[in-house]
Amino acid sequence: MYELFFRNFNNKVKLSAEEESQIKNYLTPKKLRKKQYLLQEGDICKTIAFVEKGILKAYSTDEQGNEHIIQFGLEGWIISDLYSFLTNEPAVYNIEAIEDSELVLISKSAHEELLLKVPKYETFTRLNITNAYLTMQKRITSIISSPLEERYAKFIEIYPDIVQRVPQHMIASYMGLSPETLSRVRRRISTK
Amino acid sequence: MYELFFRNFNNKVKLSAEEESQIKNYLTPKKLRKKQYLLQEGDICKTIAFVEKGILKAYSTDEQGNEHIIQFGLEGWIISDLYSFLTNEPAVYNIEAIEDSELVLISKSAHEELLLKVPKYETFTRLNITNAYLTMQKRITSIISSPLEERYAKFIEIYPDIVQRVPQHMIASYMGLSPETLSRVRRRISTK
DNA sequence: CCATAAAATTGACCAAAATCAATACTTTTT
DNA sequence: AAAAAGTATTGATTTTGGTCAATTTTATGG
């Protein structure tokens, strides 16, 4: 149980057996079926979720009811509405399973205790958030400075697994495009 | 010296006088004149810079030589090419002073030692990167889900100081727009 | 295995933003 | 104070992506 979580943790910060079992006490497993929600807009986000298995999406909805995917969460990734989690404000994102998924949940109180009691947990957190930040930064750079075809080519290069497992219109949503436009971008790329 | 830096630090994590003077040993002040560079694309980013005074911009350039601003750094903000700093890969961003500026620099070795020796520095770092992450996330959400006029309105609401002090075409660049388009957006907003 | 739903493609048309070019306005430098 | 450099606005035109609608393709649940 929690295999991937601890493999990931140990890759970043090596844990002793005692530390590992200490941390285990703070974790909760959760399974979600496809289309089930981990979080709905307006609720307070009570947990950070580490994805052991499956894929989820975090998305916001605009006035016209269109969904805009802000993040995918695959195996090994962490997904949450971090702002809501940290501030207890209502969430602006929905988090929904795209496939049947298995999660490791860390509640707010668990998170806070772990930060106080297990220094390596703070390091783990810092490294995770740093990764997430760098990923976002690359994404913005790509949005504001690369032509569409390049952006999509880069996307499939970095996330071949997402392309395999996620419907195309969700990738369009993630890229801020209509499904039709992404379809045309793909055709343009393939006819070269 | 380093007033804003330590005010900021203490707001996030309260330091004792000893800790404060210990940390001081790792800091280096630096002044930049307007248009001078802290970092040029291709160089290795050797420092994290905390802005005591002034404004800087971090930007990438595309094939056609257009610059794309990924981040502004004002008083109280941290600016760096973090990826380059952490990995020693060549920087993809240029960092340039928009006004005469005063910086507090933290070198790579200082950063690493501080992380090991001063636990509160790790917390400070974690909180900073968390803020930066949340800021980026809001920015992407806004890009992929809000109409232009709303995006600009939100921008001037959140960053009135940037609007005051930075030429408009740089804000356009930050938003991923041509200067002409931003000018027109502004006109549309003002005639309502 | 079929029926239905979901997803992707394609075409026609429309809207938004980029580009190009000219001009006005502001700031900085000398 | 004049010249130069930098900045912002405006108009005309082109390009890009969005919208709407129809059709094909693929996936899924009974």
Across the interface, of B60, B125, B144, the residue whose CB is closest to A176 is: B144
User: What pLDDT is stored for residue B137 in this prediction?
Assistant: 96
Give, in degrees to the nearest 5, the angle at Cα A142 between A141 and A148: 150
Nearest nucleotide by C1' position to the A185 CA atom: D17
What residues in chain A have their Cβ under 8 A from chain B's Cβ atoms? 60, 62, 66, 68, 70, 82-83, 86, 92, 119, 122-123, 125-126, 129-130, 132-134, 136-137, 139-141, 143-146, 173-176
The residues on B that touch A, with CB distances below 8 Å, are 60, 62, 66, 68, 70, 82-83, 86, 92, 119, 122-123, 125-126, 129-130, 132-134, 136-137, 139-141, 143-146, 173-176
Alpha-carbon distance values, A84 to A41, A176, A177, B50, B60 (Å): 10, 23, 26, 27, 32
Question: DSSP code of A191?
Answer: T
Interchain CB distance below 8 Å, A82 and B141: no
d(CA B39, CA A140): 20
Could you please report the per-residue DSSP string of B73-121?
E-TT-EE--HHHHHH-PBPS-EEEESS-EEEEEEEHHHHHHHHHH-HHH
Q: Which among A82, A139, A141 is the nearest to B134, CB-wise?
A: A82
**Amino acid A190: pLDDT:** 87
Average pLDDT along chain B, 192 residues, taken 10 residues at a time: 96 97 97 95 98 97 91 97 98 97 98 98 98 96 92 96 97 97 94 72
- CA-based nearest residue to A5, from A18, A23, A17, A31: A23
**Residue B116, pLDDT score:** 97
For A28, A71, A105, B158, B188, the CA distances from A100, given in Å and listed in that order, are: 17, 17, 16, 39, 47
**Residue that is written with structure tokens 């933290």 in the block:** B106
pLDDT of A26-59, one tens digit each? 999 999 999 999 999 999 999 999 999 999 999 9
pTM for the model stands at 0.95
Q: Are B106 and B26 in contact (CB under 8 A)?
A: yes
Inter-chain residue contact A145 with B86, CB threshold 8 Å: no
- Residue among A88, A81, A93, A84 at smallest CA distance from A40: A93
| Residues in chain A within 8 Å Cβ distance of B62 | 145-146
Place of tokens 């800790």: B19
Residues of chain A with pLDDT under 50: none
pLDDT score, position A192: 66
Q: Which residue is nearest to nucleotide C26 (CA to C1')?
A: B167
The count of other CB atoms within 10 Å of the CB of residue A44 is: 14
